[in-house]
Amino acid sequence: MRKVSMEEMAAYCNRYGFIFQGSEIYGGLANTWDYGPLGTRLKNNIKDAWRYFFIQIRENSYELDSDILMNPTVWKASGHIDSFTDPLLDCKECKTRHRADNLINDFDATINTDTLSEEQMVNFIIAKKVPCPKCGKSNFTDIRKFNLMFATQRGTTQETLSTIYLRPENAQGEYVNFLNVLRTMRTKLPFSIGQIGKAFRNEITPRNFTFRTIEFEQMEYQTFCKKGNDEDLYDYFKDYGMKFFEYIGLSKECLKFKDHEKLAHYAKAACDIEYLFPFGWGEINGTHNRTDFDLRMHQEFSGKSMEYFDTETNEKYIPYVIESTYGVDRLVLAILFESLVEEELESRDTRLVLKINPLLAPIKVNILPLIKKRHTEMAKKVYSELQKYFMVSYDDANNIGKRYRRGDAIGIPYSVTIDDTTLKNNTVTVRDRDTMQQVVVPVDELKSYLSDSMSF
């Protein structure tokens, strides 16, 4: 069994309709990607799995859908205007801009840049004569801080234009709605607000296909709690993250925790879960102890009290927040790398197969009439019945072997063949994607057979 490289993955995603280059017909826009029909289904299935795991089966857990554009004071209060920056420097020779930490890590992957100050990074680059990856010379400007937020203008006239920002994280939507959710859901601490939504960052060095992009989707989850309960909850959500990844089918040996040494401006403690991609370990989740920082800052800047009245102790206090955040696009990529393999068959032939967890499979069942005209009517009947319960596809092109291969390549867990026996006995042949074993199932029992097999 062979896993695929990053280049092969990008080609696969394009060929089978998972991910296309953004604005492709215009030559693209660097580092933007569009999800095709299968990629969109995969993304939605990941989001549904998150909703189940975080919203549905957890108590006091509420979903929100807040706007991307927010009052700009939100970003002043949150610290993003002042502190959400990357350390950048320019090559004086070829004028390319680089992130100082990436420059160092590309030169020597063993250096932990999290522990280096800006001055130490500059000294390292000079002492080691770290070369520019573009022109090979080592002649850089000083490090400058570069804000990662995309700014845009809002207003009806030139004079009234004001700067607003595309949100760089969706968490602030949860914080500014803390009081609204508390009031309308009549809830108590600890409670959680989760949100799935787009975030935007002007990443200067996008790389690795969809891993680091300027527009991406996050599934963020904020648990508001009493100070003192925060450290236990922090540990709890680190483990819950691992459980979620096992639930969606990421293997344990490709996952690890990584504690942050350099903390974001809002965090008291932070730990990532990383996945082993072909380019190395990469963050797919973060758990952060954000203390009462965000709510306290919003109280200060908005003038609105963010205090919670604890009826058990008769105390008033600003809650602490434990954040558990997931990047949807990075999860799509991790799931694809986890599942896509080239497998050698007994016949010495190979097949490309996406051994994806059926829960996430974009299409669950493939309906295959063996002979086009003779079996079409019955196949269409089975197709429309199953469509009520599953995402089903219908394929009557090429020979049955080719149709199996295409279904395997896009991860369809079960193929249902309609042939003369179906017309005679009202049974179909169901083929399992992974084992390639076939079983005969009465048409009347097909729905429950498939539901049981996929544990739906």
Q: Contact positions toward ligand GAP, by CB under 6 A?
A: 169, 171, 201, 203, 212-213, 216, 218, 220, 283-286, 323, 325, 327, 329-330
Of 218 and 393, CB closest to ligand GAP: 218
Of 172 and 427, CB closest to ligand GAP: 172
Single out the residue of 420, 390, 238, 379 nearest to residue 322, CA to CA: 238
* Minimum separation from the CB atom of position 55 to ligand GAP (A): 17
Of 69 and 135, CB closest to ligand GAP: 69
* Minimum separation from the CB atom of position 200 to ligand GAP (A): 9
Of 116 and 321, CB closest to ligand GAP: 321
Of 332 and 416, CB closest to ligand GAP: 332
* Minimum separation from the CB atom of position 219 to ligand GAP (A): 9
Residue partners of 210: CB distance under 8 A and separation at least 6: 19, 33, 216, 329, 330, 332, 333
Of 48 and 108, CB closest to ligand GAP: 48
* Minimum separation from the CB atom of position 79 to ligand GAP (A): 12
Of 274 and 310, CB closest to ligand GAP: 274
Burial class (CB in 10 A: 0-12, 13-18, 19+), 26: exposed
* Minimum separation from the CB atom of position 328 to ligand GAP (A): 8
HSE (CB half, 13 Å, CA atoms) of 259? Answer: 6
Of 323 and 395, CB closest to ligand GAP: 323
Which residue number is nearest to ligand GAP in terms of Cβ? 327
Interatomic CA distance for residues 34 and 45, integer angstroms: 17
Of 175 and 390, CB closest to ligand GAP: 175
CB 340, CB 3: distance < 8 Å: yes
CB 291, CB 320: distance < 8 Å: yes
Of 43 and 201, CB closest to ligand GAP: 201
* Minimum separation from the CB atom of position 342 to ligand GAP (A): 27
* Minimum separation from the CB atom of position 244 to ligand GAP (A): 13
* Minimum separation from the CB atom of position 341 to ligand GAP (A): 24
* Minimum separation from the CB atom of position 197 to ligand GAP (A): 11
CB 299, CB 317: distance < 8 Å: no
* Minimum separation from the CB atom of position 198 to ligand GAP (A): 11
CA 169 from centroid of its chain's CA atoms: 13
